[in-house]
Structure 1
Amino acid sequence: MTNEDTTDGIAAATAPPRAGARAWGALAVLMLPVLLVSIDITALNFALPEIAIALQPSAAQQLWIIDAYSLVLATLLVAMGNLGDRIGRRRLLLIGATGFAAFSALAAFAPTAELLIAARAAIGFFGATLMPSTLALLRSIFLDRRQRRLAVAIWATAFSVGSAAGPIVGGVLLAHFHWGAIFLIAVPVLVPLLVLAPLLVDESRDPAPGPIDPIGIVLSMLALGGLAAGIKELAAAGADPLGIGLVLLAGLAGWLFVRRMRRVASPMLDVGLFRVPQFSGALLVNLLSVVALTGFLFFVTQHLQLVEGMPVLDAALVLVPGVVAMILAGLLVVRVVRSVDPGVAVVVALGSSLAAYGMLAVLGENVSVLGIAVSFALLGLGIGAAETISNDLILSAVPPAKAGAASALSETAYEFGAVLGTTLLGGLLTAVYRATLVVPAGTDAAMAQAARETLGGAVAVTDGAGPAGERLLEAARIAFDHGVIATSISGAVLMLLAMVVAWRSLRGTGD
């Protein structure tokens, strides 16, 4: 026997086992909560005009209807990922799926904006149990690196596509049903999960988890929740004491959390991971990508319906090319990174998303429906590829036993991105809209006040109001497009920052 034969034999003996048909069936089942959670982040975008008419929320409540879900989700992800490592990731997944479906059904029939916000928060609580569990389970199911990269690509594509397809799903449902129907889709999606997961998905947990750290859990919740709530408050009300206080509380809780994780024998989170450029850089790319995606969807869905005057289903179909681009990019990039450095591939992909925002900023008020479709396709192409690579790098940077905690951090970046996308970019849009709205002389005071709140409010109060209403609506639409220009410039800056991060931290991280 030659030395080469011996080397090949050793490599074959030590190579991780490849996954079979049952594992790929498990992946299909795990995609159900991924699609649902991501759809739930953005599905309400097309429903906002109808909800504004039905429940009459204020501008702040309108943002909370979108963000309550992501805010609670982001607050609890690290704690829930750690809990799944201890009690079992499959068990936590099934508990979360049951609660998610139940509160989604309640949200569908909420009679007031306050109750809808509360239901969205409850859905976020159970949603926090789903996402870390799915990604961590993939780490234990697919041991072969190439198979895992493909599985993660499908996972990341499902999440990105769900986020992008949320408005499309919402548009199709709203064209035929009451706005509450977008919540009821959780029931038929999660029932198959509850039936099939025990049959196809093996239980997975940290074999030596150590004791539960309630102090660490509380500190992580105060840090994440305080930061998200503080940013929301500062975006909505400016530098007020509450917003500043929440950010300071988050900073103190975060410092105490890191200090505790460095001292306890069995930390719920290895903070040393943040010193690994591959891990921290990939997290930041995820965060900035989701900010860009959710911020884009927040204003484009409103522009198509309220400025272009398109029916909800027609507006939803404008986004289909972007969803297709996201799917193809997420899957094809798996082959690309076999021969191209992952960091370079992320930079090139994000350049496409930068072009998308740059296109909207340049076209400004003259942007057409075709221009929006093309720009969203460019955005989807970049984000679909970048997030596939970054999620694989995050999982590869940690040992399998800590997959739950690492997955939770990846999901935290996603959810904070969703919060920041609507809070910062949506808040900027609202601020520019209000600053540039010129109310025509002689406009009724009540109509003017409604128009100053949101563009949706302007559409609602000017319907059937005659020439005066038409002049006010035209002024509101012009002001909204001014906000879109400012938001597009900000989105382009975010994508440029993500490219710099990827170039500096993710190069040289391939096989």
Structure 2
Amino acid sequence: MSSVNELTRARPRTLAVASSAPLLVLTNYTVPMVTLPQTASSLGAGPTGPVWMLGGISLGLSALLLVSGGLADDHGRRRVLVWGAAVLAVSVTVTALSTSVPVFVLARVVQGGASAAMLAASLAIVGHAFPSGSERMRATAGYGAMIGLGTALGPLVSGALATAVSWRAVYWLLAACALALAVVSFRELEESRSAEPRRFDVPGVVLLSLGVAALVAGVTEGRAGWGRPVVIMAFAAAAVLVAAFVAVERGRSEPLLDLGLFRRPVFLVATGGALVVGAAVVGLLSYLPTVLQNAHGLTPLQAGLLFCVWSGTSFAMSLLSRFVRLRTAARLALGLGLTAAGFAALLGVGGTLSLPLVIGGLLVSGAGSGLINSSITHLAIESVPVHRVGMGSGANNTARYVGSSLGAAGVAAVVGAYGAERGTTIAVAGCVTLAAVTALAALLTRP
């Protein structure tokens, strides 16, 4: 009985430490959004340099999220989180010291891998500590809120420090925070792992990691021209590797990803919803600070502050989402619907759209995003067996960051083809449609 009471008392501390991981990861992920022009100029970036400076972290994230989830389940969730935070601290330090684009990009790719470990392990820790019921709902709402808060802090802190000191200053701050998280996680968290560990699926890890990396690399490089041989080769390699992964996993008794999970409607809507959220929400909003600076003459700090309207609302709504008395899939549908409505108000943001209307659109879409984050986080661990929460977390986050790469590339391609004003309007309209269709699919989903 005493051990049960001790575990119960430790839950708030566990949630606080584990939720610091997405806060730190998303802060680091969004840092370059408002400082990219200054950073690219400082490092002497060429035409394709900025594309990789933004997309490098997505490459590491997408390639290693699912792998990290399996490792966390089988070899220790705390261990994977601690190592992820430590590697993040080192790689962010390299970014702060970088003097060339290749070093900067390589460090961001490594940060993506470290972030993958942190996200997959931290959500698995929450899923293990809060097995079911209303406590899990509150815990996942709090965890999801950190995604919104981190998204808010990245542009704001980087914009402020870049204006006051240098674009490098924020990376020194993040390195210190990552090191602190590694130490605190090691000292405060209890180790947990699956009661049914599997053998390490080497073929699955290699095929999936390389396949996803090839896809993200093709999408990232495609922004500079979709018909180039390197882009075509990357997409072809991705198709072959992913097909081989599916074939190999079907024949394994202990696969890296249990493909049978896709027969579960809730898992399917959670993973598909994460893919759409990455494409429509992250893809569009990663471009928004640039639009605000170019079309409306805002400084990086002003763009970061305006971006906080969206992310701050998202943070608040994630915390309040547990009071929305709907089943989780319906709450996800409501969030996607609000996101679509808010984005619809942003039509014309690349031209003469007034800032008050922009703020209104960001408020509504931010509220939708808050509901989405808490709902998807809950579905990711609710839709898989309790001993496979790392797998569910990894699959969900992989879909989210592959989607963000696809969305950012799609927005950039449309803007490049049709010009800033018309292209932005078309991109926003596409994101509205995608969010609305997915909202309908989530609404129709039954357990």
Q: What's the TM-score once normalised by structure 2's chain length?
A: 0.93
Amino acid at match of 2:354: S
1:268 to 256, 270, 276: 256
For residues 71 and 192 of structure 1, the distance between their equivalents in structure 2, rounded to whole angstroms, comes to: 25
Closer, same or farther: CA 217–312 of 1 in aligned 2, 3 Å: same
Deviations 1:96-124 (A, max 9, x none): 11111011011012112222111111212
2:398 maps to: 412
Confirm or deny: 8 A CA contact 2:345 2:360 kept in the other structure. no
1:381 to 359, 367, 371: 367
Q: Are residues 1:325 and 2:265 paired?
A: no
Confirm or deny: 8 A CA contact 1:18 1:143 kept in the other structure. no
Confirm or deny: 8 A CA contact 1:46 1:171 kept in the other structure. yes
1:340 maps to: 326
Confirm or deny: 8 A CA contact 1:41 1:418 kept in the other structure. no
2:351 to 365, 370, 384: 365
Confirm or deny: 8 A CA contact 2:52 2:220 kept in the other structure. no
For residues 403 and 148 of structure 2, the distance between their equivalents in structure 1, rounded to whole angstroms, comes to: 12
Q: Show structure 1 runs of 5+ residues with no match.
A: 1-12, 434-479
Q: Are residues 1:356 and 2:342 paired?
A: yes
Closer, same or farther: CA 19–351 of 1 in aligned 2, 3 Å: farther
2:171 maps to: 183
For residues 369 and 296 of structure 1, the distance between their equivalents in structure 2, rounded to whole angstroms, comes to: 17
For residues 276 and 49 of structure 1, the distance between their equivalents in structure 2, rounded to whole angstroms, comes to: 44
How far did residue 52 of structure 1 move?
Answer: 3.1
Amino acid at match of 1:162: G
* Aligned pairs (5 A) from 1:164-243: 164-243=152-231
SS at match of 1:33: helix
1:401 maps to: 387
Confirm or deny: 8 A CA contact 1:285 1:501 kept in the other structure. no
2:95 maps to: 107
SS at match of 2:192: coil
Q: Are residues 1:486 and 2:387 paired?
A: no
Q: Are residues 1:66 and 2:54 paired?
A: yes
For residues 19 and 296 of structure 1, the distance between their equivalents in structure 2, rounded to whole angstroms, comes to: 41
1:85 maps to: 73
**What is the percentage of aligned positions where both structures have the same residue?**
26
Q: Show structure 2 runs of 5+ residues with no match.
A: none
SS at match of 1:247: helix
Confirm or deny: 8 A CA contact 1:19 1:147 kept in the other structure. no
For residues 191 and 363 of structure 1, the distance between their equivalents in structure 2, rounded to whole angstroms, comes to: 39
Closer, same or farther: CA 363–270 of 1 in aligned 2, 3 Å: closer
2:296 maps to: 308
Q: Are residues 1:287 and 2:275 paired?
A: yes
For residues 52 and 230 of structure 1, the distance between their equivalents in structure 2, rounded to whole angstroms, comes to: 21
Confirm or deny: 8 A CA contact 1:65 1:113 kept in the other structure. yes
Closer, same or farther: CA 283–318 of 1 in aligned 2, 3 Å: same
For residues 71 and 97 of structure 1, the distance between their equivalents in structure 2, rounded to whole angstroms, comes to: 18
Confirm or deny: 8 A CA contact 2:339 2:435 kept in the other structure. yes
Amino acid at match of 1:389: S
How far did residue 152 of structure 1 move?
Answer: 1.0
When the two chains are superposed, the root-mean-square deviation of aligned CA atoms in Å is 2.1
How far did residue 273 of structure 1 move?
Answer: 0.3
Confirm or deny: 8 A CA contact 1:361 1:488 kept in the other structure. yes
Deviations 1:206-237 (A, max 9, x none): 22222212111101112211222223334431
How far did residue 44 of structure 1 move?
Answer: 0.5
Confirm or deny: 8 A CA contact 2:222 2:409 kept in the other structure. no
How far did residue 392 of structure 1 move?
Answer: 0.9
Greater radius of gyration (CA)? 1
Please, which moves more after superposition, 164-173 or 36-45? 164-173
For residues 400 and 17 of structure 1, the distance between their equivalents in structure 2, rounded to whole angstroms, comes to: 21
For residues 22 and 192 of structure 1, the distance between their equivalents in structure 2, rounded to whole angstroms, comes to: 20
Confirm or deny: 8 A CA contact 2:289 2:307 kept in the other structure. no
For residues 22 and 55 of structure 1, the distance between their equivalents in structure 2, rounded to whole angstroms, comes to: 46
Closer, same or farther: CA 40–432 of 1 in aligned 2, 3 Å: farther
Q: Are residues 1:32 and 2:20 paired?
A: yes
2:128 maps to: 140
SS at match of 2:224: helix
For residues 293 and 235 of structure 1, the distance between their equivalents in structure 2, rounded to whole angstroms, comes to: 18
Confirm or deny: 8 A CA contact 1:291 1:421 kept in the other structure. yes
Confirm or deny: 8 A CA contact 1:289 1:498 kept in the other structure. no
For residues 501 and 60 of structure 1, the distance between their equivalents in structure 2, rounded to whole angstroms, comes to: 37
For residues 99 and 201 of structure 2, the distance between their equivalents in structure 1, rounded to whole angstroms, comes to: 39
For residues 76 and 146 of structure 1, the distance between their equivalents in structure 2, rounded to whole angstroms, comes to: 31
How far did residue 19 of structure 1 move?
Answer: 6.2
Deviations 1:102-156 (A, max 9, x none): 1101101211222211111121222221110000011111124211111111111
